[in-house]
Every structure is written in structure tokens, then in C-alpha cells.
Amino acid sequence: MKKTSVSSSKKSASANKALLIKKTKTTEKAKAPAKINFGGLSKELLLTMHSHMVKSRVLEERLIKIYRAGESFFWIGGPGEEAWGVPLGMLAKKGQGPEYDYLHLHYRCSPTLIAMGLDMTDSIRLMMNRATDPNTGGRNFSNHFVIPQWNIAPVTSPLEVQYPIACGTAHVQKRTGKKAITIVTGGDAGTAEGDFASSLILASRKGQELPMLITVQNNKWGISTCYDGQHGETFIADRARAFNIKSQVINGNDPVEVYLTLKEDMEYIRKTGKPAFVEAMVSRLYGHSSASGANPIQNEVDPVKEFEMKLLKAGLLKESEAKEIWATFEAEGVRATETARAEGVPTPESIWEHTYVGSENADWRKF
């Protein structure tokens, strides 16, 4: 795998150099492709990750535009978590039922779902509260995804509740015995809730360990409250260590590090049936949500641009190719918006639907 990667890098670097010669006057001085450690990942894999990351960023920025245009009430999402979310989505065993991985995600999870094959239009339908929104039928906020066909558990606004709920899906997977795992994600601020501790306890009981990948995306913020003033522990991951859970802190802005870590951890969980914990340090590039303005934050690492720069420097990607990727997804986002905009909205009378299974009457006036 490593050899293939190096070989591909050389070819791509060569092509990239040719492009630079045509475009600039300093071509003769253009640097040779930099030697960058991509952990032995293939060029194809790296470019796929890049493409998903760009698509996710474009989608999120499209959602923010929709909010700013007054076509939606609220935005909350995942710019800054692409390097974390995309490898996660690529590595998950996608399917429905306990034989496949369950994902209990938070509302910054669009990179994961893009990597799993999410259609931009479905995200925008959710953002614009369309009746055609396949997630919630226009009932919930942006990025509150629901995809039972891929074992995507319903995203809830209170994130930490997903930690103990995830223990339930993992419990069933352990019983099913097909090496499938449960993945749960959440933020650093929410780890103050008891639900986080509940999951560590339930996942690590001796002899009853659960096949779970418990993760925290630490962006150092809880809405407007800084991490530093609220935590006494050195790392959140230290709390998992106290329960004898395999645990590590990683740079969540580096998709290569994330990919390699998650791959190793997922293999460990599938093999042992025991939990693993990852704390990924990530950026939050547009603040908490539209409630805080959804404006770009300048002093945070942009994982998409940083990764793209590395690929360019390594000669794995040409600038023209990169531009085309961004432009292609921009155009897709525009088309998706136009599609969703033209679609219908939920009707007032639909409020009673799905209170109970089969829309059994739940209105006491009709008892």
C-alpha cells in the first residue's frame, strides 16, 4: 500500500509541476514536491477524503447562505470537523440493523454523512423544513439527520443523551455477535453531563464490555463558554482511561491521523468486543450556530484548506483540479437548493402524524 502511494505521489507531483510551469513566471524556481507523511495511505484514498471534505464544506457554507437569505430559521453544523468526520464515515460499516455499525452522531456530522453518500439535496431539504425532508419531514433543525437505512440514529439537540442510548445499540450488537460496533460522537462541553459518565460505566463493566467507539470532538467551546474555565482534567480522554478503556487524544484536524487512528480502534473493537475512546481536537470555524452569527472564525485551523495545501505541496493534487472540485460541488449545492426551494412544506394537520406507530390516534379529543 505504501509503495502504491509513493508511486502515485510521484506521478501526481509531476503533473502538478507541469501545470505550474504553464501558469507562472517563476516556474524554473518551482519547488519539487514536498515529502509529506501521509501514513502510507494511497493517493486514491487521500483524494477521496479531500473530495468529501470539500463537498461537506461547500454544503455547510451553502446552508449558511440559505440561513442568511432568510430561507431557513436556524443553522447549526460542522465546518471545521471535516478532517474528523470524513474518515469516520469512510470507515463505518454501512447498513441497517445490528449486523452493521450504528452511528449516534451530533449536529456537526455532515462530513461523516457526506462520506457515507449523503445527497446534498436531502441536507438542504432538512435545512429548509421541506415536507420532502427524508430525515424529519421538516420537523427538526439542520443537520439533525435520521437515516435508518444506514443505522444513523436520530440526531437530538441535546447531544449527550446519545451516549447512554448508544450503549443500548452496542448491547444488542454484542448479543448479535457479528463484529459490528456502535459509534457515538459529541462535544467537549457536553461531557459535563452525567450521560457521558453513564456511557463510560456501561461500556466498561468487567465481562460485559460493549463494542463501542466513544468519541469527543473537542473544539474547546460550549456555545460561548471556553473549555479552559470548565475542566479540571488534563484531557477528557483521561476519564476513559480511568475505566480501563483504550483511549487516545488525536489531532482531529488531520484526516490522515484520524483515519489511521479510527481504523486501528475499529479493528480493536471488532476483534475484542471492548470499547475504545478517542478525543479529537477540532476547529469550530463558524461559531456555535446561527445564534452566534455563523461568521467565519479567523484564528482556527481550517482542516480542509490545510489538507488541500498538503496535497498540492506533495504534488498529489493540481490547483486546477482543486478548483474544479470546489466549483463542481458549488454548482451541485445551487441545484440542490433550487430543487428543495420548489418543494412543498409540512401541512398543519400533519402534526398528529407519527405520534404513535401507524399514526394511531393520539388526539384526546377523538378518544
Q: What burial letters (b/e) apply to 17-34, b meaning 16+ CB within 10 Å?
A: beebeeeeeeeeeeeebe
How far is residue 257's CA from residue 254's CA, in Å, rounded to a whole number? 5
Name residues whose C-beta falls within 8 Å of residue 26's C-beta, 6 or more positions apart in sequence.
Answer: none
Residue 365 CB, shortest distance to other proteins, in Å, is 9
- Find the binder of other proteins among 67, 84, 107, 163 (CB under 8 A): 163
- Residues 157, 141: contact at Cβ < 8 Å? yes
175 binds other proteins (CB under 8 A): yes
Residue 93 CB, shortest distance to other proteins, in Å, is 15
DSSP symbols for 191-204? GGSHHHHHHHHHHH
Within residues 221-240, the interface with other proteins by CB under 8 A covers none
CA-CA-CA-CA torsion sign (299, 315, 52, 253): negative
- Find the binder of other proteins among 24, 230, 295, 359 (CB under 8 A): 359
Distances (CA, A) of 356 to 138, 284, 345, 353: 18, 38, 22, 8
167 binds other proteins (CB under 8 A): yes
- Locate all alpha helices (DSSP H) within 245-290, ordered by sequence: 255-272
119 binds other proteins (CB under 8 A): no
- Select 84 or 243, whichever has its Cβ closest to other proteins: 243
327 binds other proteins (CB under 8 A): no
Q: Which stretch binds other proteins (CB under 8 A): 6-14, 114-122, 164-172, 293-301?
A: 164-172
- Find the binder of other proteins among 140, 185, 283, 337 (CB under 8 A): 140
Residue 346 backbone phi and psi in degrees, to 5: -65, 145
Within residues 300-319, the interface with other proteins by CB under 8 A covers none
- Half-sphere exposure for 326 (CA within 13 Å, toward CB): 11
128 binds other proteins (CB under 8 A): no
Site map (CB under 8 A) of other proteins, residues 179-198, x = contact: ---x-----------xx--x
168 binds other proteins (CB under 8 A): yes
Residues that bind other proteins (CB under 8 A): 97-98, 102, 133, 135-137, 139-140, 144, 146, 148, 153-154, 156, 158, 161, 163-173, 175, 182, 194-195, 198-199, 201-202, 205, 353-357, 359, 361-362, 364, 367
